[in-house]
Amino acid sequence: MTRVHVPVLAGELIDLTAPAPGETAVDCTFGAGGHARLVADRLGPAGTLVCIDRDPAAESRFDELSAEVACETRFLRMDYADGLARLGEEGLGADVVYLDLGISSMQVDARERGFSYSYDAPLDMRMDPGQELDARAVLNGWDERQLAQIFRRYGEDPNARRIAREIVRRRSRASLETTGDLVEAIEAALPAAVRRRFGGGHPAKRVFQAVRIAVNGELDSLDRALPLAWDLLPPGGRLAAISFHSLEDRRVKRFLVERARGCVCPPDFPVCVCGHEPEAELLTGRAVAPTAGEVAQNPRAKSGRLRAARRIAPTEES
Ligand SMILES: C[S@@+](CC[C@H](N)C(=O)[O-])C[C@H]1O[C@@H](n2cnc3c(N)ncnc32)[C@H](O)[C@@H]1O
């Protein structure tokens, strides 16, 4: 059954970014529009909400939302990094930009899209079904070293090499076609004793995450998007991101902390010679996690982490 996506850390996102009547906001990851609806309500009839998503299924949800909210709305069906670049070229100034990373519940639950190890389905995992590269091409085409590298880097899987070896061994007999074939390969690569040693939930979880990140170029998009989003903000503008694993959260944290730094001279310099001034005030010290109550109602919120910052004018004290 396809569940409607429940927006994660929604109250916290609204409190921290405080969208106000008449402002312009950009939702980089529209999904089912849960966050977008709350933001639109704050923007009111004089506000503007630009929504981006590369999944065509999100676009039909956007049409419904657009008919129901008072603010001006616009949808860009493309990678959010490309969308932000386009908005920058158009000279848009945005008061609030936010990203809610990863995939939606609708995508996970649409069995035929192959995002979940819980259902047997074709190896797809594309957020944009028009994209050429899919999970089948990665798993049958990339060499053993490349596969081990993505399992390690994007899945942080301690068994990356074993699993890559088993996949390559199996595909020399017959190509992997379904998520079930991938789960079988992973299980065969990890005897019970190894699984017990590494623990940590379903043995396929990390590899599925890794393949999905590779297929959709998720970390590259995030790295490109953060500076483009920042450039849309005038002083006072707010940027927020909800991450679902440490690879994303680390990138968001590094980006915001760098902008919040003042002097970048080496610590042994007696006086500042860099003249570097902070551009950001952090709105979150530590990343904000969902409450136990939210996780009880929506277990998929569990790994969500929210970070936000406000852009400040160069001379403004933080
Ligand atoms: C976690 S869901 C967002 C859910 C949404 N905030 C809500 O409340 O319904 C993430 C969405 O971002 C989209 N997405 C992820 N990476 C993207 C990218 N690089 N460019 C455009 N859309 C992306 C996915 O297709 C998915 O619909």
**Residue numbers of the chain with a pLDDT score lower than 70:** 1-3, 193, 196-200, 315-318
Quote the CA–CA distance of 39 and 283 in Å, as a whole number: 18
- Determine which helix (DSSP H) or strand (DSSP E) holds 307, and give its type and residue range: strand 305-311
Nearest CA to ligand 1 atom 13: 29
**Strand residues in the chain grouped as ranges (E):** 24-27, 48-52, 72-76, 96-100, 238-243, 280-282, 305-311
User: Which among 2, 53, 216 is the best mutation to test ligand 1's pocket, defined by most ligand atoms within 8 Å of the CB?
Assistant: 53
**Whether the CB of 35 sits within 6 Å of ligand 1:** yes
Read off the DSSP letter of residue 299.
G
User: What spacing in Å lies between the alpha carbon of 299 and ligand 1's midpoint?
Assistant: 18
Question: Which atom of ligand 1 is nearest to 80's Cα?
Answer: 20
Nearest CA to ligand 1 atom 10: 103
Token pair, residue 100, equals 């809610």
**Whether the CB of 151 sits within 6 Å of ligand 1:** no
Quote the CA–CA distance of 215 and 139 in Å, as a whole number: 10
Instruction: Say what the pLDDT of residue 318 is.
Output: 47
Quote the CA–CA distance of 260 and 217 in Å, as a whole number: 27
pLDDT digits 0-9 by tens, 60-117: 999 999 999 999 999 999 999 999 999 999 999 999 999 999 999 999 989 999 999 9
Amino acid at 160: A
What's the whole-model pTM score? 0.93
